[in-house]
Copies of this chain bind each other. A is one copy, B any other.
Amino acid sequence: MNAARPLVLMSGVGAVGAYFGGRLAAAGQAELRVICRSDYEEVAAHGYSIASPNGDFHFQPSRVYRSAAECADAPDYLIITSKVLPGINQPAIVGPAVGPHTTLVLIQNGIDIEKDLARAFPHNELISGIAYVGVTRIAPGKIVHTDGGTLKFGRYPQGESESCRKLTALFNAAQVGTEYHTDMQRIRWEKLLWNAPFNPVSVLLRANTSQIMNDPKTVELIRTLMHEIIALAAADGWPLPEDNIDKLLKYTAGFRPYKPSMLIDFEHGRPMEVEAIVGNALAAGERLGVATPGLKTIYALLQYWQKNTAVTAQP
């Protein structure tokens, strides 16, 4: 690694990638390059404009590539911020840019989403990351930041990592509150505890968080689904305190009306992270022998909408 100024290559740069990449670039301690397929023309010419309540900012990557193969220099960090969708061969997409000392970094939702990369690059360090941020891409290269903007990182599957510590420090030096963890799978289950109930239910009811929280019977459903996630996490070796449920419900009840990302994707006819957020949890249940009847029901309904939305709305 170029200790003074590491090279960071980002892949699957949507709103999340542009926001965090932009912060990192603005701090000047890393060189930021991006692989950008769909918005290539706009981003190569003008970079990303990020409107934020903390002050608008601009992110001009030092290089913009159409594919990983165009990047001749092996990056110190290769950060993937795409949505997690079936049929995307992530190792094939980033593979050409991965050098022997490249640390792979995922900033993505869901559970059990690291396996393909871990299997494809067994000798590279892999960092699992989660973002807590409200950002939306409103046009090519145009990003709106509304809420949050923090990260949690940890080595996959667990344990200490010098490389991860350095990445955490880089982000913290760039106005991004970032936590270093040695137990990222616990952190993933904690985030799934909110995501797995609220995202699907919001889609199935076309309801924001306030509408869900205002109906005692839908709150009870959310609670049931949360209990299933807690059971899964415990069987996976990450027992979460039961009172996380009450805390999360109380926290969510305090939101202004908020549309989970899956509902926004649904409303725009975009693919939803059904498998990463629900399907993989069910698979964990099968593997660990944990019953997940509520999640299974939600999943069956949601995957139908996924297919039927995709059919009608995708180009």
How far apart are the CA atoms of A39 and B218 in the complex, in Å?
36
Contacts of A220 in B (CB 8 A): 300
| Interchain nearest-CB distance for A274 vs B (Å) | 11
| Interchain nearest-CB distance for A248 vs B (Å) | 18
Query: CB-nearest residue of chain B relative to A292?
Result: B293
How far apart are the CA atoms of A207 and B296 in the complex, in Å?
19
| Interchain nearest-CB distance for A216 vs B (Å) | 10
Contact of A305 among B205, B294, B303, B305 (CB under 8 A): B205
How far apart are the CA atoms of A205 and B204 in the complex, in Å?
8
- The verdict on A217 contacting chain B, using a C-beta distance below 8 Å, is yes
- The verdict on A98 contacting chain B, using a C-beta distance below 8 Å, is no
Size of A's binding interface in residues, CB under 8 A: 23
Asked if residues A224 and B301 are in contact (CB atoms below 8 Å), the reply is: no
Asked if residues B296 and A224 are in contact (CB atoms below 8 Å), the reply is: yes
- The verdict on A74 contacting chain B, using a C-beta distance below 8 Å, is no
| Interchain nearest-CB distance for A293 vs B (Å) | 4
Query: CB-nearest residue of chain B relative to A291?
Result: B293
How far apart are the CA atoms of A241 and B307 in the complex, in Å?
34
Asked if residues A296 and B296 are in contact (CB atoms below 8 Å), the reply is: no
Asked if residues B201 and A293 are in contact (CB atoms below 8 Å), the reply is: no
Asked if residues B297 and A215 are in contact (CB atoms below 8 Å), the reply is: no
Contacts of A113 in B (CB 8 A): none
Contacts of A251 in B (CB 8 A): none
Asked if residues B204 and A301 are in contact (CB atoms below 8 Å), the reply is: yes
- The verdict on A304 contacting chain B, using a C-beta distance below 8 Å, is yes
Contact of A297 among B293, B304, B305, B308 (CB under 8 A): B293
Asked if residues B304 and A205 are in contact (CB atoms below 8 Å), the reply is: yes
Within 8 A of B (CB), among A293-315: 293-294, 296-301, 303-305, 307-308
- What are 16 of the A-B contact pairs (CB < 8 Å)? A201-B301, A204-B301, A205-B304, A207-B304, A215-B304, A217-B299, A217-B304, A218-B300, A218-B304, A220-B300, A221-B301, A293-B293, A294-B294, A294-B297, A297-B298, A301-B301
- For the complex of A and B, 10 pairs with smallest distance between CB atoms: A293-B293, A221-B300, A297-B297, A294-B297, A217-B300, A205-B304, A218-B304, A217-B303, A204-B301, A293-B294
